[in-house]
Amino acid sequence: MKKAQKYAPILPVLMAYIALFVVGKGMTGMWQLVATLLFYCALGQAFNIFMGMTGYVDFGYVAFMGVGTYGMALTITRFADFQGFGVGIIIIGFFAALLFSTLLSLAVGAVALRLRGAYFAIATIGVNEGFRFLIEGARIWNGSEGLIFTAQLNQILGKQSASRLAVFWADVIVFGIAIFAACLTLAYMRSKIGYALTALREDEDAAKVMGINVTKYKIIAFVTSSCIAGLIGATSWALKTPYVFPPEVFEIHYTIEAIIIVLLGGAGTLLGPIVGGLIYGISKYYLSVILPGFQLLIFAPIIIVIIIMFPEGVVGVFRKKIKGTKLERYFM
């Protein structure tokens, strides 16, 4: 496959994200909505790397966002007094977030990823609960009182920059994370990793016999997906709203949204999470205006319908339609 052909699928992705960015900056008052949509797309891209590509569900996914948030929060609170570090502290915060999510995902993965589908799902249901209650129960990191670090953030960046960060730059970072996640997804899909994941998703035992170390590849997908989640948490939560409370950052709601986004768009596809993120984000936004608080009520049966009738999601159905045409190589 020529280089151009290999990377062609990233074009629609970049176009979509750039279009979003332009709309957000160009039209007044749209930035908030666009930022929310970017969040959902990024979340979807990250979650897709695991659930979409392996076919396993991590019901405790939000724990990684939570842990990433703590990573950033703790860095900010601990380093706030170091004069002159400025933005450097934020960067250290990202590394902390990465570190925390890597550690947690390795710990969970080592235990849970040896287990098959249903058992794995059960194990992950507990991760969320388990970790949150560990923090609250053992009063780690200020326990259930959480951390508030508005003051420290202001101290590090200066009040103006901090608020500019919250309403603009943090979202730009999310934008970057989303694009990064998409590129990583494509890279995986085109490499042995992608083939191994597809094989183990379709038939894990046959994959083993073909020489695939399924546990290793599951872990790769899992840790990647979780780390990106950690970065998203660090950015969208810690940097935009400088406080963190365990019940909020371990709220299963976000895992549900990630599942909806990936399924809606098309699990295992490159564009799926973007389509899913946009549809879900826009629907939620309008629902919150017309019928606030109803979005899960409406989306829960939608997921059921999708799984039973359109398991391949919007992008999956679209790909079937364009099979054999020239468009095929651009829409993965």
Partner 1 sequence: MVLEQLIGNLIQGLVLGAVYGMATMGLSLIFGVLQIVNVGHGAFIMVGAFITYWLFTALGLNPIFAVPIAFVFGMALGLLFYYTAMKRLIKAPELASLLVTFSIGVLLQEIVKLIFGSEFRGYNWVVGKINLGITVLPMTKLYAAIGSVLIAVLLYLWFNKTRYGSAMRCVVEDSEGARVCGINVGGVYAMSFGLGIGLTVASGVLLTMFIPVGINPYMGGGYTLKAFVIAVLGGLASPYGAFFGGLVFGLIENGSYTLFALIPGVEPFALTRFFSFMILLAILLVRPTGLLKAK
Partner 2 sequence: MTLLRLDSVTKRFGGLVAVNQVSLEIDHGQFVGIVGPNGSGKTTLFNVISGVFFPEQGHVFFESKDITRLPPYKRAPLGIGRTFQIPRPFASATVRENIAVGAMFGTLSHRVNVEESLEIADQTIERVGLQDHKDKVAGGLTPVEKKLMEIGRALAMKPKLLLMDEAMAGMHPNDIDDIVSLIKRIAKEEQIAIVAMVEHIMRAVVGMAEKVIVLHRGAKIVDAPTKEALENPKVVDVYLGRPTKES
Per CB under 8 A, residues contacting partner 1 are 51, 55-57, 59, 111-112, 114-119, 121-123, 125-127, 129-130, 133-134, 136-139, 143-144, 252, 256, 259, 263, 293-294, 296-297, 300-301, 303-304, 307-308, 311
Cβ-based nearer residue to partner 2, 212 or 306: 212
Integer angstrom CA distances of residue 199 from 105, 138, 196: 22, 42, 5
Q: Does 212 bind partner 2 (CB under 8 A)?
A: yes
Judged by beta carbon distances under 5 to 8 A according to partner kind, the member of partner 2, partner 1, none in contact with residue 12 is none
CB 125 → partner 1: shortest distance, Å?
6
Q: How far is the CB of 228 from partner 1 (least distance, A)?
A: 21
Q: Please state the closest distance from residue 55 (CB atom) to partner 1, in A.
A: 5
Q: Which residue reads 């939570």 in tokens?
A: 66
Task: Please list every residue from 244 through 283 that binds partner 2, using CB under 8 A.
Answer: 268
Whichever of 15 and 118 has its CB closer to partner 1, that residue is: 118
- Distance, CA of 10 to chain centre: 18
Q: What is the Cα–Cα distance from 98 to 226, expressed in whole angstroms?
A: 9
For partner 2, which residue of 206, 298, 304, 327 counts as binding (CB under 8 A)?
206
Dist CA 189 CA 196 (whole Å): 9
CA-to-CA separations, 283 to 201, 241, 312, in angstroms, rounded = 30, 24, 20
Q: How far is the CB of 50 from partner 1 (least distance, A)?
A: 12
Q: How far is the CB of 198 from partner 2 (least distance, A)?
A: 5
Residue 51 interacts with partner 2 (CB under 8 A): yes or no: no
b or e along 214-228 (b: 16 or more beta carbons within 10 Å of the residue's beta carbon)?
beebbbbbbbbbbbb
| SS3 category, 95 | helix
- Cα–Cα distance, 193 to 223 (Å, whole number): 13
The H or E element spanning position 101 is helix 87-112
Picked from partner 1, partner 2, none, the partner binding residue 115 (CB below 5 to 8 A depending on kind) is partner 1
